[in-house]
Amino acid sequence: MAQTLDRAVSPKTPRKLKDFSDGSKGVRLAINATSILGGILLWYLITLIPSINTFLASPRQVYAALLEESAAHGRFFKDISISLQRVLIGFGLAFVCSIPVAFLMGWYPKVRSVVEPWIQFFRTIPPIALIPLVILAMGLGEPPKYTIIFVAAFLVMVVTIYQGVKEVDRTLIKAAYTFGARDRDLFWDIMIPASFPFILVGARLGMAASLTTLIAAELTGTTFGLGARIQGAQQFMDTSIVLLGIIAIGIIGFVLDKILLLIEKRLTRWK
């Protein structure tokens, strides 16, 4: 009876606070490596089924295709370099243009009223739907490919950055005005630092949009590039080349995202 009473009046054991950190770097890398190897093993086991192997090449077939493509005058690496150039140029132009547009939308309500309906309108249109108009306007050279990637990345980044400007803590703004800050001081000392993390997040989302639009961009007519290589292999039912191109795009996206994430960590140490 006394023990029951002691348990009833004794305080509860405090719960351990949930840990939202990335954890140990070594453990994280080990889990990542295990996940990748497990995925490749699962892929290999699935392709042992003959009916599946007819449309899904095995890891061994993809590796053989990589060796063959590499031996064929470096065609595969040329495709990678050309596609990467298109992605970086389209993304770079979009990044440079999205920042001032987003800040103008957040700073001036009249500009927001004019621009925001068009941003929302074009966001609902897949970039691939613009291809006929872009080809008619620009032809079949490199500019239409840059344009398609630019549109996809720009729309994603301008919305993300604008949201960051909009979510700036109003208390900071009121405090700055109380101490006599001018609009120029408010913009440089509060608006930009407060929305800077959103700029970096927008860059990561814009890079992802650029890569996912690459195939559509290379539908505008081209001989070289990962998208063109995938489309050509699809016509001949060469699934090993198709998968090789898909994996290459995924690896490029993974590496670029890690680079942007590293930049984000370095530039936001003050948070």
Q: Do 81 and 131 fall within a single domain?
A: yes
Q: How many CA atoms lie within 13 A of 137 on its CB side?
A: 10
Instruction: Collect all residues with Cβ–Cβ distance below 8 Å to 36 and sequence separation of at least 6.
Output: none
pLDDT value for 5: 47
Q: Do 216 and 87 fall within a single domain?
A: yes
Give the CATH number, domain containing residue 105: 1.10.3720.10
In a domain, 17, yes or no: no
Q: Do 152 and 35 fall within a single domain?
A: no
In a domain, 12, yes or no: no
* 169: number of Cβ within 10 Å: 10
Q: Do 131 and 31 fall within a single domain?
A: no
Q: Do 152 and 246 fall within a single domain?
A: yes
Domain count, the chain: 2
Q: How far apart are CA 130 and CA 139, in angstroms?
A: 13
pLDDT, the chain, mean = 82
Q: Do 44 and 167 fall within a single domain?
A: no
Question: How large a percentage of the chain has pLDDT more than 70?
Answer: 88
In a domain, 228, yes or no: yes
Is 230 in contact with 241 (CB distance < 8 Å)?
Answer: yes
pLDDT value for 205: 92
In a domain, 11, yes or no: no
Q: Do 49 and 61 fall within a single domain?
A: no
**Residue that the structure tokens 């913009």 belong to:** 187
- Going by pLDDT thresholds of 50, 70 and 90, the confidence category of residue 88 is very high
pLDDT in tens, 104-125: 888 888 888 898 899 988 888 8
Question: End-to-end distance of the chain based on CA atoms, in angstroms?
Answer: 54
Q: Do 32 and 68 fall within a single domain?
A: no
Q: Do 114 and 147 fall within a single domain?
A: yes
From 14, 34, 55, the end of a domain falls on 55
In a domain, 14, yes or no: no
In a domain, 261, yes or no: yes
Q: How far apart are CA 222 and CA 245, in angstroms?
A: 15
Q: Do 42 and 160 fall within a single domain?
A: no
Q: Which of 22-36, 168-182, 248-262 has the highest mean pLDDT?
A: 248-262
Q: How far apart are CA 245 and CA 206, in angstroms?
A: 21
- Going by pLDDT thresholds of 50, 70 and 90, the confidence category of residue 11 is low
**Residue that the structure tokens 């590039």 belong to:** 225
Say whether pLDDT at 131 is over 90: no
Tell me how far CA of residue 9 lies from CA of 1, 6, 13, 16, 60, in angstroms. 13, 5, 12, 21, 65
What tokens were used for 170? 């109003």
Q: Do 244 and 257 fall within a single domain?
A: yes
Q: Do 49 and 68 fall within a single domain?
A: no
Query: The domain containing residue 212 runs over which residues?
Result: 57-267
